[in-house]
Amino acid sequence: MAQDVAQDMIRIGVVLGSTRPGRVGAQVAEWVHGIAARRADAAFTLVDLAAFRLPHFDQPVPPALGGTVGPEAQEWARTVGGLDGFVFVIPEYNHQLPGVMKDALDFVFAEWSDKAAGIVGYGVAGGTGSAAQLRQMCGPLGLADVPPQVGLHLALDFEDFRVFTPRESSARALDGLLDRVVEWTGALAAVRAGRAARVA
């Protein structure tokens, strides 16, 4: 997390949802983060799931009902809780989200609530199956998934399916997605602040 972020600036995490050795996702997440970091309307942090070394979901109490157990999960909860919005960078495995991403979503609950989410999918056909599954999870978690979506195609946005060479149209799509994520993140930060003030 950047240390020099102004107190009132919204913080958005670019979450890389692929952890396997040799993943192409690191190139995609760095591209997203590089473009996002040029913006002045939010502070963006690259959040690499691989760094958290989360176990398979192992919480004795459903996160919606209780605290988080275990050092890795607690570190993950702190990280998610410290962010106001998210851009998920997700591949597609057998038309689904990677299991590690599904687990990471399940591990925490309140920390996702009333925050915005954008989806950058990639795969043979733009990661649309994976993105659709993630959208299904956003509702129950209280994540507001923005309508724009970036779908990167292995045959069109990569050379030899391995070296990331994004099309100009993909960069434009990313700008549109970031605009919306920043807008919704700001709106929902105000919602959370209003609720906290009413409860206090």
Ligand X SMILES: Cc1cc2nc3c(=O)[nH]c(=O)nc-3n(C[C@H](O)[C@H](O)[C@H](O)COP(=O)(O)O)c2cc1C
Instruction: Report the residue from 10, 14, 18, 49 that binds ligand X according to the rule CB under 6 A.
Output: 18
Instruction: Report the residue from 35, 110, 125, 132 that binds ligand X according to the rule CB under 6 A.
Output: 125
Please state, as a whole number, how many other Cβ atoms lie within 10 Å of the Cβ of residue 135: 15
DSSP string computed for 34-73: HHHTT-SSSEEEEEEGGGG---SS--SS-TTTS---SHHH
Write the CB contacts of 38 (distance below 8 Å, at least 6 apart in sequence).
Answer: none
Instruction: Report the residue from 13, 14, 25, 189 that binds ligand X according to the rule CB under 6 A.
Output: 25
SS3 1: coil
Instruction: Report the residue from 124, 171, 187, 193 that binds ligand X according to the rule CB under 6 A.
Output: 124
Which lies closer to ligand X via its Cβ, residue 23 or residue 102? 23
Instruction: Report the residue from 13, 63, 85, 123 that binds ligand X according to the rule CB under 6 A.
Output: 123
The verdict on 53 binding ligand X (CB under 6 A) reads no
Which lies closer to ligand X via its Cβ, residue 90 or residue 144? 90
Instruction: Report the residue from 91, 118, 151, 166 that binds ligand X according to the rule CB under 6 A.
Output: 91
Write the CB contacts of 111 (distance below 8 Å, at least 6 apart in sequence).
Answer: 77, 80, 81
Least distance CB 18 / ligand X (angstroms): 3
Residue 3 and residue 59: Cα distance in Å, rounded?
Answer: 31
**Stretches 56-64, 85-93, 133-141, 178-186: which one binds ligand X (CB under 6 A)?**
85-93
Task: Count residues binding ligand X (CB under 6 A).
Answer: 13
| Buried/exposed 93-123: b ≥16 CB within 10 Å, e otherwise | beeebbebbbbbbbbbbebbeebbbbbbbbb
Residue 78 and residue 86: Cα distance in Å, rounded?
Answer: 14
Which tokens go with 54? 């989360």
The verdict on 32 binding ligand X (CB under 6 A) reads no
The verdict on 151 binding ligand X (CB under 6 A) reads no
Least distance CB 153 / ligand X (angstroms): 8
Site residues (CB under 6 A) for ligand X?
18, 20, 23-25, 91-95, 123-125
